[in-house]
Each structure stands twice: as C-alpha cells, then as structure tokens.
C-alpha cells in the first residue's frame, strides 16, 4: 500500500506540473482510486481466507493468488493509462 501511495503522490504531482485536462484527471483519478480499492479487496480476501483456514489448502492459495493477480492486472492497466497521458507531454517538453 505504501508503494501505491507513493506512486499516486508522484502521479498527482506530475499531473499538476503538466496541467492535465479535466478528462485526463478523470482517468488518472479512476486509476488511482481503482488501485486503492482493489488493493483493499485483495487484503480483505487474504484476511478472510486466513480466518477460515489455519492449514495450507490449495483452494485457499488459489483464492489469494487470483486476488493478487487482479491487483497486478489493474496495476499494469494503470501504468498503461499513465503512459498514454504522460508520455506525449514528456516528449513534447523534452523536444
């Protein structure tokens, strides 16, 4: 969660620096909010599985792995959104 907070803070600072449009902010905020929400759901699933079973069970491992995979997929999507929004602005300022 600390990594997500740090990344979100940096993205917000970059957004302010590059003066994102309202529609760009919507996508950025949806990516940030979605990431935090999915991370909380992942944590809830992991804690629930830990509460239900004390010993190793393959289905418990699968539930945890699938929840973590969902977080990874959304993190990749968020990076792609960030690249679509920020890369043209970075390239424009460098050239």
46 is in an annotated binding site: yes
Listed residue (67, 74, 69) closest to 33, CA to CA? 74
User: Is the CB of residue 11 less than 8 Å from the CB of residue 28?
Assistant: yes
Instruction: Clarify whether 54 is annotated catalytic.
Output: no
Per-state percent for the chain, helix, strand, coil, to nearest 5: 90, 0, 10
89 is in an annotated binding site: no
27 is in an annotated binding site: no
65 is in an annotated binding site: yes
The active-site residue out of 31, 39, 42, 86 is: 39
> How many whole angstroms separate alpha carbon 26 and alpha carbon 18?
15
64 is in an annotated binding site: yes
Known binding residues for substrate: 39
Known binding residues for a divalent metal cation: 46
Known binding residues: 39, 46, 55-57, 64-65
Catalytic residues: 39
Known binding residues for ATP: 46, 55-57, 64-65
């Amino acid at each position: 969660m600390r990594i997500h907070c740090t990344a979100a803070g940096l993205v917000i600072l970059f957004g302010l620096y590059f003066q994102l449009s309202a529609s760009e902010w919507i996508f950025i905020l949806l990516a940030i909010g979605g990431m935090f929400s999915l991370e909380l759901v992942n944590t809830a699933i992991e804690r629930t599985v830990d509460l239900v079973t004390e010993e190793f069970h393959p289905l418990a491992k699968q539930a945890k792995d699938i929840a973590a995979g969902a977080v990874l997929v959304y993190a990749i999507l968020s990076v792609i959104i960030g690249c679509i929004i920020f890369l043209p602005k970075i390239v424009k300022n460098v050239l």
